[in-house]
Amino acid sequence: MASKASTAAAVSLKLLIDSKGQRVLYAEAGKDFVDFLFNILLMPVGTVTRLLTKQGMIGCLGNLYQSVENLGDAYIQPTKNRDTLLKPTYSSNLATNVSTASSAANEGGYVKGVVTYTILDDLTVTPMSTISSITMLNKFNVKQVDALEEKVVNVGMNEGVELLKASMQSKTVLSDVFLSPKAGKKRSN
């Protein structure tokens, strides 16, 4: 049942892969994926830590989170709720202001849906154009177009968590999540 839910919530992403260099040059994505990436910036640190602790977090933030979880009630201020730290929420007023300011013709999210976006391996997001795509091939020193491969991937909850984790540890996020041997192993299970 969980797999049906994650499949229903998945968004498509088209990757352009340099098969010789084993790297994602860039991805083509619609509004849904770009809005997902931008929403990462809204996530409170406690929420990020909670999501990544299950996946094996690098650094000490996981220890700090675990300390709050394990600290006895006798040590917590009576006027404070542990969930404020462990399961923080952002102000619905802020979310309303952002979505109202960014929406044109009642379209929610942060970016407009009439455009396809380019996302580089380091998560730089720009509107897509043919000229930009050609320029990028030159920038990435692609000499053989036949070494390029197109791959469509679905991004669900698991991939979203992997993208979040990789974005905090790497400058080659798309390659790490979608091309690493670990990524292929997860998809075959």
Whether the Cβ atoms of residue 26 and residue 16 lie closer than 8 Å to each other: yes
Predicted confidence at residue 69, as pLDDT, reads: 83
Whether the Cβ atoms of residue 10 and residue 145 lie closer than 8 Å to each other: no
Pick from 12, 8, 46: nearest CA to 151:
12
Predicted confidence at residue 173, as pLDDT, reads: 94
Pick from 49, 142, 38: nearest CA to 87:
49
Predicted confidence at residue 72, as pLDDT, reads: 79
Task: Enumerate residues 6+ apart whose C-beta is below 8 A from 28.
Answer: 13, 14, 16, 116, 117, 118, 119, 128
Q: Collapse the DSSP code of 172 into the 3-class scheme (helix H, G, I; strand E, B; otherwise coil) and give the result.
A: coil
Predicted confidence at residue 9, as pLDDT, reads: 72
Parse the chain into domains and list their residue ranges. Answer: 2-42+90-188
Pick from 184, 187, 173, 185: nearest CA to 23:
173
pLDDT averaged per 10 residues, the chain (length 189): 52 94 94 89 82 66 76 78 78 42 57 90 92 88 90 93 89 93 53
Pick from 16, 25, 7, 6: nearest CA to 121:
25
